[in-house]
Every structure is written in structure tokens, then in C-alpha cells.
Amino acid sequence: MAQKTEIPATTGRSVPPGPSAAGPTRRQVALVCAGMFLAAVSGAVGLAGGGIDFGPTITGRLPWHSPVLAAMALGLVVAAPMGTAAVLGWRRSQRAPDAAILAGLALIGWIVVETVVIRTVSWLQPACLAYGGLVLALGFLLRRNGRADGHRAAGGS
């Protein structure tokens, strides 16, 4: 019979088994996604309600010259995936990493298409591209680490 031998860690301390302590938790990613969800809903309401006015040139470049249609698209393409990722992350769902990846890709895609359609660049577009990249990266980190919640191995909260 083979005997099990414990090899001491090189740092002189034991390393607890389980998920890595580094990296985001599902709830942290949920909060990041919730932030963009609120921003997208606010933008959609502003567009549909007339509080955000692009002016005649940019409005003329929108499909059917309709800010209301643009608001609906913003809600479907950005707010819905971000909201879904936020809820799944808050509930610590195993689907949260994939939802975050999808939400990040949707935001990045939205900004690329928006820039092509309106043919105007604002400071908000690079900021949203970076935010989409952040959500995408957090989703991949969640997937890699497989962290189910924010509890540390030592019983922290």
C-alpha cells in the first residue's frame, strides 16, 4: 500500500483547498452589471421620453429617425443582458459568469454599432467600451475561478 506524504508549502504556511481567494465574486460582478443596467434604463427612458435630444442631424441617422426605437433597442441589447447578469450574480447562480460575458459582449457590440449608425463619437462611447470590457473580463474571471459566493475559506463574509 502506498503511503501518503504531506509536502510542506514553500512559504511555511498551509494553503487551504478550494477556490482561489483572488478574483471577483458573483455578487461583486452583480453590482458592476447593476450599475450599467441602471445607466442603460436611464438612457432608454431619457431617449423615449424626450429628455435626451440628439439634435436633428443624429436623430436623422437613427433607424426610422426614431429615438423611441433606439430606446427600445438600448433596453433590449444592453439593459436586459446587464440586468439578467446582475440578478444571476446576486443569486450566486452558476450561470452568472456566462451572463456577464454575454452582457459585456452586448455592450461592446452596442457601442460599435451605435458609432457606425450615428457617425458621431462622444466621451461616453470609450467609457462604455471600457465598462463592457470590464464586465467581459469579470465574467471570464468568474468562470475561471468558479467562485460561488463571497465567503472565504476561513469563514469570512
Report d(CA 64, CA 144) in Å as an integer. Answer: 43
CA angle 129, 130, 134 (to 5 degrees): 120
Residue 23 is predicted with a pLDDT of: 86
Report d(CA 14, CA 20) in Å as an integer. Answer: 14
Report d(CA 79, CA 90) in Å as an integer. Answer: 16
Alpha helix ranges (H) inside 50-149? 55-61, 67-74, 80-90, 96-118, 124-145
Give Cβ neighbours of residue 80 (< 8 Å, ≥ 6 apart).
none
Closest CA to 73 of 107, 96, 98, 105: 107
User: Using one digit for the tens of pLDDT, what is the confidence trace for 4-33?
Assistant: 555 455 555 554 444 445 789 999 999 999
Residue 151 is predicted with a pLDDT of: 43
User: Using one digit for the tens of pLDDT, what is the confidence trace for 25-80?
Assistant: 999 999 999 999 999 999 999 999 999 999 999 999 999 999 999 999 999 999 99
Any idea which of 4-8, 85-89, 131-135, 147-151 has the lowest mean pLDDT?
A: 147-151
Report d(CA 4, CA 113) in Å as an integer. Answer: 59
Coil vs helix vs strand at 54 = coil
Coil vs helix vs strand at 144 = helix
Give the global pTM: 0.79
